[in-house]
Structure 1
Amino acid sequence: MPSTVEQLSPSRVKITVEVPFADLKPNMDKAYRDLASQVQIPGFRKGKVPPRILDQRFGRGAILSEALNDALPSLYNDAVVDNKLSPLAQPEVEVTKLEDGELVEFTAEVDVRPDFDVPSFDTISATVDAIEITDKAVEERLDSLRARFGSLDEVDRPVEDGDHLIIDLVARQDGEPLEDANVTDVSYEVGTGRMVDGLDEAVIGLSAGESKKFESKLVGGPLKNEDAEVEVTVKKVQVQDLPAADDEFAQLASEFDTIEELRVDLKRELEENGRAEQANAARDKVLEALIAEIDVEVPEGVLKAEVESRREQITTQLAQAGLTLDQYLEEIAADEDEESDEDEPTDAESFWAQTEKRSADALKAQMVLDKIADDREVGVEQDELSAYLVRRAQASGTTPDQEVQHMLEHNHIPEYMSEIRRSKVLDQIVAQATVNDSNGQTLDLGLPQPESAADDEAAEGDVIEGDVIDGEVEDSTEVEGQTQEADTEDAKA
């Protein structure tokens, strides 16, 4: 099947494909069979109507149109593979020549991954936070473990800071209770500030059975941020009774004989968690440094579609939360505890500008990782796909079998394969890059080095190639590329 490619721009091509009419015979036969099975014509059994009768009744053009609609996706994919193209979007297809019985010609214009150079990975460097495990952090971890073995004991005295309460809350406006703004028998630890403003101050000094009213702003529902009169009733006052941090507790709560051995192990766990956080931060920082050195632009049409998709999803999620964008941005600005490495947007214009930039960065990262994966012929082994499904199951609270079923039902195999390939490539990049911590120490993150050509050949028989299985491709929000799941937290991060 001859095809030619015209380069319209660095990131857009026009494919012209000529198809001998004989190659369409299977599609024509199928079109005739499908139509014959759907119509009832006097003198013929259903499904047995001859093609010439169908041509007379419905016109040859209708059959040709149905056959072409059936054939074009496969013909287009074949042309893409033959010309080694990497499409980034759906093509714009036009049939330009139709000579019945002789020839069909069609063109397909599509945005493709442009050609670009990737720098050597060992020239990339990044810095991540150093691991600092303080005695206080170890004691907090120990206290958390003690709390799991502790108990809540009821006391007959006024509420003090740190007490655990059982309370009722009733919110009113103009003396009328507000629907969906009342809670009963809710647990609350005084001093955490995790409920309405003013609650901690209101309960201090109350005893079980006593109530107090105070003014506050509602924190959820359709009346969020509106002023209301809140009445709290203390139903039970409890204090947490923690076991002593001694050798007896260490033997009860762990495999260790002494409390000092337990502390050492807790410190080891904190260090392991810190190294995992360093590895995740290194992946992000190295990828940012890599794409910053690559001179390539995301195709305008691809970026526009992605930004529109994110805008629609964010707007929908805000509406579902009962918020406007302005209200959402006000909440971000008012959150004094939130920390961010970049300036948060303060108005709608800067918010959407930031969304567009993040979209462009994500798409560029996808293009870079996919190019490297293609150039290095990175494949995905069966056990890697299995491990990926297990991780998804753990994250979503499902079983691996349920994840497999979901993957097959929704044809997510290409998407998952792409994510695994990109993750493998990124690990290889980070392994060769220079990663230092904030103290200047060069880190060994224990990531796998790139496979050698001999290793690739040895593993070839066990590799599931990404183009074996057809299906839709959806990419996750951050490193992996195009997002179909951007939420408002992602947008503000």
Structure 2
Amino acid sequence: MKATWEKIEKNLGVLEVEVEADRVASALDKAYNKVVKKANVPGFRKGKVPRPIFEARYGVESLYQDAIDILLPEVYTEAVNETDIFPVDRPEVDIEQFAKGETFKFKAKVTVKPEVTLGDYKGVEVEVAKVEVSEDELTEELKRLQERHAELAVIEEGAAASGDIAVIDFDGSVDGVPFEGGQAERYSLELGSNTFIPGFEEQVIGLSTGDFKDVEVTFPESYHAEELAGKLAVFKVKVHEIKRKQLPELDDEFAKDVSEFETLAEYKEDLKKELLVRKEQEAKGVKEGKVVDKVSENAEVEIPQAMVDSEIENMMRDFDNRLRNQGMNLEMFLSFSGQTTGELQEQMKDDAQKRVRNNLVLEQIAKEENIEVTEEDINKELETMADSYKRSVEEIRNLLTSNGSIGSLREEVSLRKTIELLLENSKEVEVAESTEEAAEDNKEDK
């Protein structure tokens, strides 16, 4: 096989390939073996028609498309490897020659991974803030812990308020006609969560157990279901019960229940240390992001739209997985939020472009710095994953190898090592104290 690559634009080129006639013959054999199983020829059982009779009746040309479908993917992959290019989108293939006894010639217009011209990536300055835990932050964390350990109690009397859980039946219709997804029984709705159509939850607030109400709402003009967009809907709502969070008292008993400490004072001291560690980790993440962003801004790269579109697909898939972990899915989210898939993808566009750019720049730095991922690095990652998933290292390795993810793991480790190199070579500039904070400090000093 012969393969040549010629760049015609920055990220676009033409791959010319010529494949030997004997491989064409082999592909035709495979195509015949596939097609003959369905061929109907009088006097022969299916799958038993001799090749000469088949070709005489149907023509050898009837095998060409199947043979191309068999041969093209494998020779295209070989040509990509031979010319050392990195396609980022489906190629536009133009078949120039394919016939029995002849070579197979085709051209493929291919969008490839762009070249990156690096700017300064060592010694970049990043602003960092002093990491400490304030009393307000400690108080807020204790409030969150109260919420987490709150118990839901059924309210026998009184009206539903924001923050309550209303267990309801609802039956929605537009112009008297029920619509798909508009009905549910004993649905637990957190009032004030803004998960339902705008205006719905506000009308449930104030209802009591056993109440019935016709809730009228208008679907947003941008609602994903076109037949409902902008329409007035009526939901017949019945309230079965109302549940309200009962917060535990912040005292020594609370500390004993949620920790290993005997007093609230001891627990608060330990919690403050935990918050400090968490904030230090968050600060490191923020610093990493700033360093990578600055290094990326210093580089020059033209990103193909195909790479951005691919990243948006990945982000949508990840978002759907996160929703499923929360008991929802993407379809339900779009229904409740009134957004379309296109609108959600548009919101992700800038972030996707930034991710692609940053990854390209980091990959180029890894090449420049000869950053290598050793088997020891991979083994450490596998051990961490095995510990997290409570499975053996070999199980995790076999799983990643079988689904083709071991290469992605290697790339992830390479990017992480590259970021560590950038952090080690960056310069920290402490954020100046604000005028208000300085004035407050002066007051305390006096």
Asked whether the 8 Å contact 1:5–1:16 carries over to 2, the reply is yes
Asked whether the 8 Å contact 1:150–1:242 carries over to 2, the reply is yes
User: In structure 2, what is the equivalent of residue 114 of structure 1?
Assistant: 114
User: In structure 2, what is the equivalent of residue 285 of structure 1?
Assistant: 290
1:321 aligns with 2:311: no
Asked whether the 8 Å contact 2:119–2:299 carries over to 1, the reply is yes
User: In structure 2, what is the equivalent of residue 368 of structure 1?
Assistant: 361
In the TM superposition, what is the alpha-carbon distance from 1:21 to its structure 2 partner? Answer: 1.1
> In the TM superposition, what whole-angstrom CA distance separates every residue of 1:356-393 from its partner, at most 9, and x where no partner exists?
544443433343344456664755836646856997x8
**1:363 partner letter:** V
User: In structure 2, what is the equivalent of residue 269 of structure 1?
Assistant: 274
Asked whether the 8 Å contact 1:27–1:71 carries over to 2, the reply is yes
User: In structure 2, what is the equivalent of residue 335 of structure 1?
Assistant: none
> In the TM superposition, what whole-angstrom CA distance separates every residue of 1:337-357 from its partner, at most 9, and x where no partner exists?
xxxxxxxxxxx9xx9987654
1:57 aligns with 2:63: no
1:432 aligns with 2:386: no
Asked whether the 8 Å contact 2:168–2:240 carries over to 1, the reply is yes
- Looking at structure 1, the residues matched to 307 and 98 of structure 2 have their Cα atoms a distance apart, in angstroms, of 34
- Looking at structure 1, the residues matched to 67 and 245 of structure 2 have their Cα atoms a distance apart, in angstroms, of 76
The one of the two structures with greater contact order (alpha-carbon pairs below 8 A, sep at least 6) is 2
In the TM superposition, what is the alpha-carbon distance from 1:111 to its structure 2 partner? Answer: 0.9
1:105 aligns with 2:118: no
5+ residue gaps, structure 1, are: 329-347, 395-399, 442-493
In the TM superposition, what is the alpha-carbon distance from 1:89 to its structure 2 partner? Answer: 0.9
User: In structure 2, what is the equivalent of residue 413 of structure 1?
Assistant: 404
In the TM superposition, what is the alpha-carbon distance from 1:418 to its structure 2 partner? Answer: 3.1
> In the TM superposition, what whole-angstrom CA distance separates every residue of 1:55-98 from its partner, at most 9, and x where no partner exists?
21222223343223211211111111112111111112222234
**1:118 partner letter:** L
**1:13 partner letter:** G
**2:293 partner letter:** E
Q: How many residues align?
A: 400
- Looking at structure 2, the residues matched to 367 and 261 of structure 1 have their Cα atoms a distance apart, in angstroms, of 48
User: In structure 2, what is the equivalent of residue 253 of structure 1?
Assistant: 258
Q: CA 1:119–1:385 in structure 2 vs 1: closer, same or farther (change >3 Å)?
A: farther
TM-score (norm 1): 0.60
**2:251 partner letter:** A
- Looking at structure 2, the residues matched to 360 and 60 of structure 1 have their Cα atoms a distance apart, in angstroms, of 48
1:90 aligns with 2:80: no
In the TM superposition, what is the alpha-carbon distance from 1:237 to its structure 2 partner? Answer: 8.9
- Looking at structure 2, the residues matched to 144 and 308 of structure 1 have their Cα atoms a distance apart, in angstroms, of 33
1:12 aligns with 2:4: no
Taking the TM superposition and a 5 Å limit, the aligned residue runs for 1:98-247 are 98=98, 100-119=100-119, 121-127=121-127, 130-146=130-146, 196-197=201-202, 240=246, 242-246=248-252
User: In structure 2, what is the equivalent of residue 462 of structure 1?
Assistant: none
Aligned-residue sequence identity (percent) comes to: 20
Q: CA 1:373–1:76 in structure 2 vs 1: closer, same or farther (change >3 Å)?
A: farther
**2:418 partner letter:** Q
In the TM superposition, what is the alpha-carbon distance from 1:129 to its structure 2 partner? Answer: 5.4
In the TM superposition, what is the alpha-carbon distance from 1:262 to its structure 2 partner? Answer: 1.4
Q: CA 1:224–1:389 in structure 2 vs 1: closer, same or farther (change >3 Å)?
A: farther
Stretch of structure 1 that moved more, 191-200 or 87-96: 191-200
- Looking at structure 2, the residues matched to 216 and 163 of structure 1 have their Cα atoms a distance apart, in angstroms, of 21
User: In structure 1, what is the equivalent of residue 304 of structure 2?
Assistant: 299
TM-score (norm 2): 0.65
- Looking at structure 1, the residues matched to 41 and 184 of structure 2 have their Cα atoms a distance apart, in angstroms, of 68
- Looking at structure 2, the residues matched to 285 and 295 of structure 1 have their Cα atoms a distance apart, in angstroms, of 18
Q: Which SS does the other structure have where 1:81 is aligned? A: helix
- Looking at structure 2, the residues matched to 165 and 279 of structure 1 have their Cα atoms a distance apart, in angstroms, of 38
Q: CA 1:42–1:82 in structure 2 vs 1: closer, same or farther (change >3 Å)?
A: same
Q: CA 1:212–1:318 in structure 2 vs 1: closer, same or farther (change >3 Å)?
A: closer
- Looking at structure 1, the residues matched to 153 and 104 of structure 2 have their Cα atoms a distance apart, in angstroms, of 83
User: In structure 2, what is the equivalent of residue 454 of structure 1?
Assistant: none
Q: Which SS does the other structure have where 1:26 is aligned? A: helix
User: In structure 2, what is the equivalent of residue 466 of structure 1?
Assistant: none
User: In structure 2, what is the equivalent of residue 447 of structure 1?
Assistant: none
> In the TM superposition, what whole-angstrom CA distance separates every residue of 1:193-212 from its partner, at most 9, and x where no partner exists?
99844877x58xxxx87989
Asked whether the 8 Å contact 2:91–2:111 carries over to 1, the reply is yes
**2:58 partner letter:** F
In the TM superposition, what is the alpha-carbon distance from 1:103 to its structure 2 partner? Answer: 2.4
Q: Which SS does the other structure have where 1:117 is aligned? A: coil
Q: CA 1:252–1:114 in structure 2 vs 1: closer, same or farther (change >3 Å)?
A: closer
5+ residue gaps, structure 2, are: 320-329, 434-446
- Looking at structure 1, the residues matched to 11 and 311 of structure 2 have their Cα atoms a distance apart, in angstroms, of 18
- Looking at structure 2, the residues matched to 109 and 294 of structure 1 have their Cα atoms a distance apart, in angstroms, of 27
Q: CA 1:287–1:423 in structure 2 vs 1: closer, same or farther (change >3 Å)?
A: farther
- Looking at structure 2, the residues matched to 279 and 214 of structure 1 have their Cα atoms a distance apart, in angstroms, of 52
